[in-house]
Structure formats: structure tokens, C-alpha cells
Structure 1
Amino acid sequence: MLIHPWDAPRDDEWQRWLAAHDFGQLAVNGPPGEPPYVQPLHFAYDAERGEALTHLARPNPLWHALEANPDVLLSVVDDYVFVPGPWQAEPSTPPEHGVPTSLYAAVQLRCRAHVVDDPAEKAALLNGQTGHFQPEGGSARAAAGEAPYGRLLSGIRGLRLEVTGVRAKFKYAGKRSEAVRDRIAAGLADRDGARDTEARAHVLRRQPD
């Protein structure tokens, strides 16, 4: 992923963004001669411990590849929009000469995967995920050998993804002039499509220093 200086995260920007974006794709190296395995999944990121928690069904074909090479990549992309060319044209340029582009936020976590098979540890991992996604409660806690979830633990394997590196990008017209950024923000407000509100907030927030 190419990251220009004007698209790089500022301070703890990527951590704050990731805290509100907990669905991504886990990429695992495939066997020799085969493409990578890519698994969509929910995860709970623990900034203090520097790890992401998740789990998958035991029959998932990803496990053999992961055990052969535990170095993986968790990729999260959101707040993406298409920007029409005329929105990007500088005031001195004909609108039809503007270049269309994509705006988006992306965080890639390079991780060392640790498989969790111990029933008690799997229960603790699941409770950590549930606490993240259902902080209001409403579900029974998982416990090895106890109802209602104990008997289901054998059907899954847990994953602790130890973060060893981070690449993050916030591509929101950072190198464009103020006039172009204002036009993009106005265009997103008028269009009001999927993710336009979120992308507009990034454009307005990430004004050049």
C-alpha cells in the first residue's frame, strides 16, 4: 500500500479509527503455488495488549496454511467513496479535465497468529469478543463444559493476532488546494450517499497543517 506523506496517519489517528471499525479481512499465505487465503471476519482489537482477538470454525481450510506460516495480515478498509473528476479540478482548470479518484481509510495490521485450542482459553477469548460487541450484556458467558456454550467450543478455534507492524492510510484530498477540498466536501454533502458523511468528516478534519 503506497502511503504519501499527506495521507499518513497523525498521532493516534489510526488507533481511534480502528476502535470503531472491527470487521476486516485476514490474509494468510496459501500453500506453494496457491493464492493467499482471505477470510472476512469480526475481531476485537485490544490497543493496550497490541493484539486482535477472533475465532473461526474448526473446518475452515485456513488453519493448515496458518500453522505452516503464522505471519498474517489483517486488513480493514472503510469510509471509502468515489470522487467524480469535476470535483477535483482546480479553479484554473476546466471541470471536465478533473481526475476522478477514490477516498478511503485503511489500516493493515501485520500479525503473528497464535492458535487457541484450550477450552478455557477459548471461552475467555469469546467472552472478550462478546464484551466488545455487546458491552450492554444480554448473553450468557462462555465457560468450558458449561451450558449454553460449553459444548460448542469444540467446533471453533480461537486466534490471538499479535500485532508486529502497522501501516495506515487516510486518503482524503490532503494534497489538494483548499478550493478543491471545499468542493469535494460540498459534493459529498449534496450527494449524501453511502459513507459520504464519514468521508466528508475526514476531508474537513484532515486539513493540511
Structure 2
Amino acid sequence: MYTPPHYKEERPEALQAFIHQHSFGLLISPGPQGMEATHLPFLLEVDGAGPGRLLAHLSRANPQWKHLEEAGEVLTVFSGPHAYISASWYTERTDVPTWNYVAVHAYGRARRVDGERLHGMLARMAQRYEATSAVPWSLGEVPEASLQAMTKGIVGIEIELTRLQGTRKLSQNRSAEDQQRVLQALRERGSPDDLALAALMERPS
């Protein structure tokens, strides 16, 4: 991912926190017919100082899983808020418009997860995503026969991450006055992404 130095995010804890917050990603890998891509919820697990590992599962009917282990490096893209930035917001209208956004690219090697490891992965994913529910559901509520039937229709994957790349394009290259004008304009326009970007611009990097 091309990232100019003033937009680059390299802090591992910030990149991992972003994935935790924006965990619905796009898995991209090469296949026999060309590039393949699937939108998936992921669970990031971190042990020690490394970038961690991503856990997910695909439908068995999705052919992408068949080529993941032999694909070498695969890419997962996590996207955050993004918005059009009008040149009319700047002090000099002769400048050009742009797009502000936040994103993380996660690279690694994938392998299949089967059997008890798959059940454990599904239980941890459910626990993670049910954490905000008033009455959390757990995998243990599913009868064993139904669980066995369900897992036959999916393929678990684990991606051992080798590197993370992050971009925070939040008008850092603009003057302090232009940054305040962009911030105010985003608030006034007021879409969810506009407000999320404004909050990020105000937050210390």
C-alpha cells in the first residue's frame, strides 16, 4: 500500500486496535482463475510482540479456501471511515479536492483450521461479537448434532500475520487553519463517516 510518510501509521498497538474496531475485512488471494476476494468478519488474536493472527471462516461452497494454503502471502484489507474533502473548504480555492480515510492492510500466510480447533475458534468469535449483547448467545447453546452439521458447511482459516501497514489520511499535510476548516465542514455535513473522521482528526495521533 502506497502511503506518504506524513500519513503512515506504524505503531503496532494502533494498527491492532484499528483491526479490533473495524474487524469486517476483505480477504484477497490469488487463485487459478485470477484474484479472489471475500468479505468476512475476523478475530485478531495477539500473543507476545508479533503482529498476531487472524481467524475467520468461509462457506465451503466458496472456492477461495481451496487455494489459500498454496497462495503464499495473502492480504486482508480493513477499512475505516472515509469522506470526500472539498477544495472549497481550504483557504486557497486553487487547491484540489481529495479523499480522507483510514485503512490497515494485513499480510500473512493462511492455513486451514479443522476439528476441535475450529470449534474453539467459533466459540471465541461468538464471545467477541456477543460481548455487547444484553443477553449474550454462546456456541454452547447449539445442540451437538446441529453444531456438527453446521461446521460441515464451513472452512476455518488462520492467517499468521507477517506485517501490518496503516494509513491515516486526515489532512495532516494542510495548515492548521485548513485543518480546522475541514474539521468544521465535516461536522456540518454530518454523515456518520464525516463525524467519525472529525473525531479522529481531533484525537491525538
TM-score normalized by structure 1? Answer: 0.87
Report how many aligned residue pairs link the two structures.
198
| Structure 1 residues 65-144: aligned runs within 5 Å | 65-87=67-89, 89=90, 91=91, 93=92, 95=93, 97-117=94-114, 119-135=115-131, 136=133, 137-141=136-140
Cα deviation, 1:86-132, whole Å, max 9, x if unaligned, reads 12x3x3x3x2x231111111100001101112x21111111111111
Kept in 1: contact 2:80–2:102 (CA 8 A): yes
Secondary structure of residue in 2 paired with 1:112 = strand
- Segments of structure 2 that go 5 or more residues without pairing to the other structure are none
Q: Which runs of 4+ in 1 moved over 6 A?
A: none
Q: Does 1:40 align with 2:36?
A: no
**For the residues of structure 2 that align with 1:176 and 1:132, how far apart are their CA atoms?**
38
- Return closer, same or farther for 1:206/1:175 CA change in 2, 3 Å cut-off: farther
- Segments of structure 1 that go 5 or more residues without pairing to the other structure are none
- Percentage identity across aligned positions? 26
- 2:178 aligns to what? 180
Kept in 2: contact 1:142–1:149 (CA 8 A): no
TM-score normalized by structure 2? Answer: 0.89
Kept in 2: contact 1:142–1:148 (CA 8 A): no
Give the drift of 1:10: 5.7
Secondary structure of residue in 2 paired with 1:163 = strand
Kept in 2: contact 1:140–1:148 (CA 8 A): no
Give the drift of 1:194: 3.0
Give the drift of 1:139: 3.0
1:197 paired residue among 189, 195, 203: 195
Which shifted more, 17-26 or 180-189? 17-26
